[in-house]
Amino acid sequence: MGHGEHAAKRTARLVEGARPCPLGVSVVARFWHTYAVARPTILHVDMDAFYAAVEVLDDPRLSGRPVIVGGAGSRGVVAACSYEARVYGIRSAMPSARARALCPGATFLPGRFDRYREVSARLHAIFSDVTPLVEGIALDEAFLDVGGAEMLLGPAPRIAADLRSRIGADLGLGCSVGVARSKFLAKLASEAAKPEATSGGIRPGRGVVVVAEGQETQFLGPLPIEALWGVGPATSARLRSLGLTTVGSLASVPLASLEAAVGRTHGRHLHQLAHAIDDRQVVPNRASKSVGHEETYATDRFDPAALHAEVMRMSDAVATRLRDAGSAGRTITLKVRYGDFRTVTRSRTVAQGLDASRDIARAAGSLLDALDVSPGVRLLGVSVSGLAPAGAGRVEQLCLGFGETPSATSDDRAGALVPVEGPASRRAAGWAAAADAIHEVRRRFGVDSVASAALIGPGGLRVKRQGDTQWGPSAPGGDGSDP
Ligand SMILES: [Mg+2]
């Protein structure tokens, strides 16, 4: 199937799925199908150095300085860095120790996920103003199909430029936008639109790069093969050993030879990409299927009591997010990665959806008890899935199907809910009310205002937040290499 047919098929499906608009849908759709089939309508929007840029926005004293957001521990990695830091050769996913060596004067920040999420929500609200066809890829990155918006907002390249201006004006942040006929090309185009940090300084980017119809292979040709989705280190080495270094050289290889070199499925996939064929559609995001937290530790952990405290912290963070979303989940999953990278997950499903930290922690804690942690734990994670809107049945939920009702004597420390300041006051009953109250206080006064007693360590209250991690190797924030 040729590229034209692919594009036509994609566009046709898009037309079918397009939202009715007041201008006479069928006429518009037919017009658009006829004239717009070959036009680039997919945008890839990617914020520039997002986490670092938000930090600079909130503290203008950091402006123009090398800023690194990431883990400072021995296994910490750089999650994001300002372009000023990139001038020193610092990059996302680089070990923090190396980044520090490259630029000892850089400002290291641990990251504030709540704040990034808040800015991201505003960003996504702007996207939704343009089109309902938004596929969020990360907090700071999304695909938009603006094909159906062109009649109202103008051609896609103009929509891209306007969107970029609006993000700059409304959020005070920079972004880069790629425009093309496919997701894969739009993503590479936004990459090409980025500012560039070289040892000589920062070169401003083009902001918007459009890959026009008919120019796709020309755009792709000079790019290194690693630019293609699915070319990781092993494939890269294999192809380079055959003298294939650019996408253009790859495109000139017959399909059969490529299949022989890297396998049938992979070969076909790469052959198509090298010829600019990618008919994946922009799929608007579905509701998330699970909520979880995980953390990689600076050194392996062996102490079950310490691991239980970690489970409490993570459950607390998961519960806060569930309640913010008005969700509860029935399946609680514990993930443990040992020092030797062996990874196990254990799940437990209960009758009623859970959204209280204590309940989640009890379920996850019982899963932890069933595991041998003596080899040492490198990574721990707690997640809740099987989500549904939190509704009636709070009272039943407290009994959890664990066959016991919370009491003042069981689980004394782990379950006690106390104000951070003032005397502990708790009752055997009323956990649900307490959990609701805590959520409300946190919502109004911040997440550190109250917490379960078990979260109060020698150094004061420790509340787990997303991003409070060592930015382990699999932590978010790397530049997506994922198809
Ligand atoms: Mg980005």
In a domain, 83, yes or no: yes
pLDDT digits (tens, 9 = 90+) for 105-155: 999 999 898 899 899 999 999 999 999 899 988 889 999 999 989 888 999
52 shares its domain with 91: yes
What separation in Å is there between the alpha carbon of 43 and the centre of ligand 1? 14
Q: Please tell me the distance from the alpha carbon of residue 6 to that of residue 44, in angstroms, as a whole number.
A: 19
In a domain, 11, yes or no: no
Contact between 145 and 52 (Cβ < 8 Å): no
196 shares its domain with 231: no
Task: Report how far apart, in Å, the C-alpha atoms of 180 and of each of 95, 194, 204 are.
Answer: 34, 16, 21
* Final residue belonging to a domain, choices 274, 300, 316: 274
What separation in Å is there between the alpha carbon of 472 and the centre of ligand 1? 19
Q: Please tell me the distance from the alpha carbon of residue 329 to that of residue 389, in angstroms, as a whole number.
A: 8
DSSP of 361-373: HHHHHHHHHTS--
Task: Report how far apart, in Å, the C-alpha atoms of 221 and of each of 188, 214, 481 are.
Answer: 12, 13, 20
Q: Which domain holds residue 236?
A: 218-274
What separation in Å is there between the alpha carbon of 50 and the centre of ligand 1? 5
Instruction: Fill in the DSSP letter of residue 284.
Output: P
In a domain, 13, yes or no: no
Q: Please tell me the distance from the alpha carbon of residue 305 to that of residue 309, in angstroms, as a whole number.
A: 6
pLDDT digits (tens, 9 = 90+) for 180-213: 999 999 999 999 999 999 988 999 999 999 999 9
336 shares its domain with 438: yes
What separation in Å is there between the alpha carbon of 46 and the centre of ligand 1? 5
What separation in Å is there between the alpha carbon of 44 and the centre of ligand 1? 11
240 shares its domain with 202: no
pLDDT digits (tens, 9 = 90+) for 222-256: 999 999 988 888 899 999 999 999 999 999 999 99
Contact between 305 and 346 (Cβ < 8 Å): no
Give the total number of structural domains in the chain.
Answer: 3
Dihedral sign of CA atoms 362, 368, 374, 380 in order: negative
pLDDT digits (tens, 9 = 90+) for 5-37: 444 444 333 333 334 444 444 455 444 444 444
Identify the CA nearest to 193 among candidates 201, 203, 184: 203
Catalytic residues: 141
Q: How confident is the model at residue 365 (pLDDT cuts 50, 70, 90)?
A: very high
In a domain, 282, yes or no: no
250 shares its domain with 185: no
What CATH number has the domain bearing residue 449? 3.30.1490.100
Q: How confident is the model at residue 468 (pLDDT cuts 50, 70, 90)?
A: very low
116 shares its domain with 90: yes
pTM here is: 0.57
65 shares its domain with 155: yes
Q: Is 226 helix (H, G, I), strand (E, B) or coil?
A: helix
Q: How confident is the model at residue 38 (pLDDT cuts 50, 70, 90)?
A: low
| Helical segments of 131-155, H only | 150-153
In a domain, 269, yes or no: yes
What separation in Å is there between the alpha carbon of 482 and the centre of ligand 1? 14
189 shares its domain with 225: no
In a domain, 229, yes or no: yes
pLDDT digits (tens, 9 = 90+) for 281-304: 888 876 567 888 888 888 899 999
Could you tell me the two tokens for 82? 């300002």
What separation in Å is there between the alpha carbon of 477 and the centre of ligand 1? 8
* Final residue belonging to a domain, choices 195, 213, 231: 213
In a domain, 416, yes or no: yes
208 shares its domain with 233: no
What separation in Å is there between the alpha carbon of 325 and the centre of ligand 1? 25
In a domain, 238, yes or no: yes
268 shares its domain with 349: no
What separation in Å is there between the alpha carbon of 94 and the centre of ligand 1? 16
What CATH number has the domain bearing residue 266? 1.10.150.20
Identify the CA nearest to 382 among candidates 446, 435, 308, 454: 308
What separation in Å is there between the alpha carbon of 238 and the centre of ligand 1? 29
What separation in Å is there between the alpha carbon of 189 and the centre of ligand 1? 13
263 shares its domain with 207: no
Could you tell me the two tokens for 282? 């922009």
Residue 135: what residue type? E
403 shares its domain with 444: yes
What CATH number has the domain bearing residue 187? 3.30.70.270
**pLDDT score, position 75:** 78
